[in-house]
Each structure stands twice: as structure tokens, then as C-alpha cells.
Structure 1
Amino acid sequence: MGLKRQKLAKKIINFYKYNFSFREPFQILVDGTFCQLALKNKIQIKEQMPKYLMGEVKLCTTSCALKELEILGGDLYGAKIILQKFQLRSCPHFKKPVPASQCLLSMLGESNPHNYFVATQDRSLTEGLKRIPGVPLLYIISNTIVLDKVCQTSLDHVRAVQLGELVSPAQQQSITSLKKEQGIVQKDGERRGRKRKRKQSNPNPLSCLKKKKKSGPTPPKKTEEGKKRKRVRNKKPSTAGGDMPAPAVTNA
């Protein structure tokens, strides 16, 4: 595995980790087209996928994808055997199977809440998945597994979240219905006007004022009790015959 290709894959995985909360083990939805090309190029999916994604993975599929290979039969029998070894995820088409591409799109919904990777060689499915934010795509090219670069939908989603411009699907539907009532719905062919650049606002004058220096803590005043009391020395009275001076001697 090329060092450059692995570094690029690590960068893309980190993008999905930080912005869409992807965590190990990575769940990878695999369809029959991916298994067929892996079999043709002698790629061991279970061995190479964890090495390429640098983490633990869970390979899974749906009953619709298996049913599609079973109906087609013929040369796809080997791909069916490989796909049967993966974990089966329940889909809403158990009674009435649908094409694998339609089934995988329904599994991801509008926001890929279960954080699935998708491994496929179906171009129509890939185009549909690129309209959903937060969907990492895996495909095989030149006998190697490749993680597709981040699509523009995911980049726009992250940018909208960072700017606080993202709205919920329910709010988006109400906005669209109001636009239709007012007759201001923009056609697909029309170009959108350029966004106006925000003018730089002047700084708040209050924030420019110099902050007053805080005066240091005032030393505590000494209380009278803390002052040292002067010691009063009491003089002892003189005793008789003790320290009296001698009388002066006079000549008779």
C-alpha cells in the first residue's frame, strides 16, 4: 500500500470523524458490484479493508443486494458467495425486494444517521450518495481499494454548521412551501446572486478604554492590642545602712 495513498485516506477519515462523529468499528455497506470486481482482481476484502482504513470494520449488506445477485445468477455467483459472508442489515423491503441501489439509498436516508461507509462500483448509486452529506464512498480502481475524496455536499454541510446557517428538514420544508405560496421559488437554471460581504464593524469604544490598574492590597492596620506595651520598671526603695553615703570628716 502506497504511503501517499494511506496518508490521504487518513486525512479523509479524520474529516468524517471530527465533523460527522464516525467511530470504530466502521460500518461498511457492500453491494454486489464491489464484490464482483474484488473477486475479479483477487482482492481480499476482509483482510485489506481494515488495513486501508486503519481501524476495525464491520462489513455488512442487505437482503435486497443478495436477492439481486440471486436473480442475476450466472457470473455473479462468486460475488454472491462473498456477500453472504457479511452481516445482514435489516431493510424495509423484506417482503418486496427492490434494486440494491435503491435499497442502499433508503438505508442512508437524508443524513446517514448510522454513519455507514458504502462500497460500490455503481455510478448511478454513487451520484445519489454524493447528494447526502457525510457518506464516505469506497471503490476499486487499479486493483486497489480507494476512499473517495469528500464530496461538495459534505463540505457545504460542515460550512453551514460552522456559520450557524443550517436548518432542520422540517423547517426547510416549511420555508419551501412559503416560497411557493409567495411565488418566489427560484428555478434550477437561474443563477443565485452573490452573497454580500459583511462590512467590518467598528470596534466597541468601551472596549478601547484603558483598564484602570488595580491597586495593591492595603496592609492591615495594627491594632492597639498588637502594639508592644512598654515595661514599667519600679525602683526599689533604699534601705538604712545599706547604700547610704559616708559622712564628711571635718577638722576640729
Structure 2
Amino acid sequence: MGKAKKTPKFAVKKKLVSSKTIKKYKEEVLNPNKKDTQKDKLPKNVPTVSSALYFTYNTALGPPYRVLVDTNFINFSIQNKLDLVDAMMQCLYAKCTPCITDCVMAELEKLGQKYRVALRIAKDSRFDRLPCIHKGTYADDCIVDRVTQHKCYIVATCDRDLKRRIRKIPGVPIMYITQHKYSIERLPEATLGGAPRI
């Protein structure tokens, strides 16, 4: 017959505080000249919450809507034979102002002769031209940065990666093309404070 194992009894021994722990405590907590390492670990540029957002309600969104257009959205509109401004007005039932950044224009110019129709549409006088200050001409980063700073835009894109990035930003609706017409995603949530979809 084997020896029965004893279960450990809790709270029997009192732990003694050693002199090393007291010294360490004094150095960490009570020393006023010591630098706080936790503040150094925090990120430098913490994004501030937009004043336009009230919980999930975006107060900056309202007619006339400002729609930030991506390169592939113009190309897909041409393929589906949709006029940008008219189709946007049919989708939102309000006046829309399509906006194009310098990065999107540069991308369209880089694509060359094949996309000359898209470039001609983008140079239309009904479109607002938004200047870019940053370096480079990568339109996706430009659109994401602009939308995080200013919550007054609806983003029009068919790019899956860009949609995924924009969904992480609260209060920004996404316009895309489905079944030969424009459709809007997250607009009730952005304007009606998280209203359920019907």
C-alpha cells in the first residue's frame, strides 16, 4: 500500500517581506526623480475621436453628401454604364458632390491610354478636386487618412481591401456597385445612431 499524498494547506505560512522587496518598492514607487517607463511605451500619435461622432451617430453627414471616389469605382461605373452623379442621387435621394483627390487623379493618369475615358470623367466640372499634401500617390492610404481626419465623406469604392480598412473606422459609410446600380453600406448606422437594417 502506497503513501497517501497530502494536499497543500493554504494560508498556513505567512510570507515574509524581504529587505530586497522593500528596497525595490522604494526605488519604483517612492522615488520622484525616476522616469515613468509606461508613458514611454504608449504610442506617440494617439488618434483623437472626431467631434462629429456622438456614439455611433455621425453629425457631419447630411445632404448634400460629399462622396470620395476611388479609381476602380470610376472604372466599374463605366463598365456598368452608370453616370456617377445621377446614379449617386438615385441611391441617396439627395444632392451629391463627388470628390476626387490628387492621388486618384495621379493613379488614373498612370494607368495610361486604356483608362482615358475614366480620366475624362474625373476631370468633369461637377467633381470637387481635393489637394493632397503627403508624399506618394497611393490612393488607398490617402482616402483612409482623409476619412479618419474628416468624417464628412462617404467613400465610393469597389476595392475589397479598402472596404475592409474603412469598416474599421466608425461613422463612415461605403458606396459600392451591385446589380448595375449603386448601393450604400452603413449609412443608417452612421446617421441614425446604429439603427437596425431592414
**TM-score, structure 1 as length reference:** 0.49
Deviation of 1:103 (Å): 0.8
CA contact (8 A) 1:67 1:97 kept: no
Match of 2:185 among 148, 158, 163: 148
Q: Which residue of 2 aligns with 1:50?
A: 89
Identity over the aligned pairs, expressed in percent? 30
CA contact (8 A) 1:32 1:80 kept: no
CA distance in 1, matches of 2:150, 2:85: 24
Deviation of 1:149 (Å): 3.9
Instruction: Name whichever structure is richer in strand by fraction.
Output: 2
Q: What SS does structure 2 have at the residue aligned with 1:134?
A: coil
**TM-score, structure 2 as length reference:** 0.62
Q: Which runs of 5+ in 2 are unaligned?
A: 1-53
The number of aligned residues is 136
CA contact (8 A) 1:31 1:83 kept: no
| Aligned structure 1 segments of 4 or more residues deviating by more than 2 angstroms | 90-93, 149-152
Match of 1:79 among 118, 121, 124: 118
Q: What SS does structure 1 have at the residue aligned with 2:100?
A: strand
CA deviation map 1:160-200 (0-9, x unaligned): xxxxxxxxxxxxxxxxxxxxxxxxxxxxxxxxxxxxxxxxx
Q: Which residue of 2 aligns with 1:20?
A: 58
Larger radius of gyration, structure 1 or 2?
A: 1
Any residues of structure 2 matched to 1:79-98 within 5 Å, and which? 79-85=118-124, 86-93=127-134, 96-98=135-137
Structure 1 80/122 Cα, relative in aligned 2: closer, same or farther at 3 Å?
A: same
Return the letter of the residue paired with 1:92. I
Query: Which one scores higher on RCO, CA 8 angstroms, separation ≥ 6?
Result: 2
CA distance in 2, matches of 1:151, 1:106: 23
Return the letter of the residue paired with 2:66. Q
CA deviation map 1:22-69 (0-9, x unaligned): 221110000110010110111011112112201111111100001011
CA distance in 2, matches of 1:38, 1:145: 9
CA deviation map 1:136-156 (0-9, x unaligned): 10011121111124699x6xx
CA distance in 2, matches of 1:23, 1:141: 23
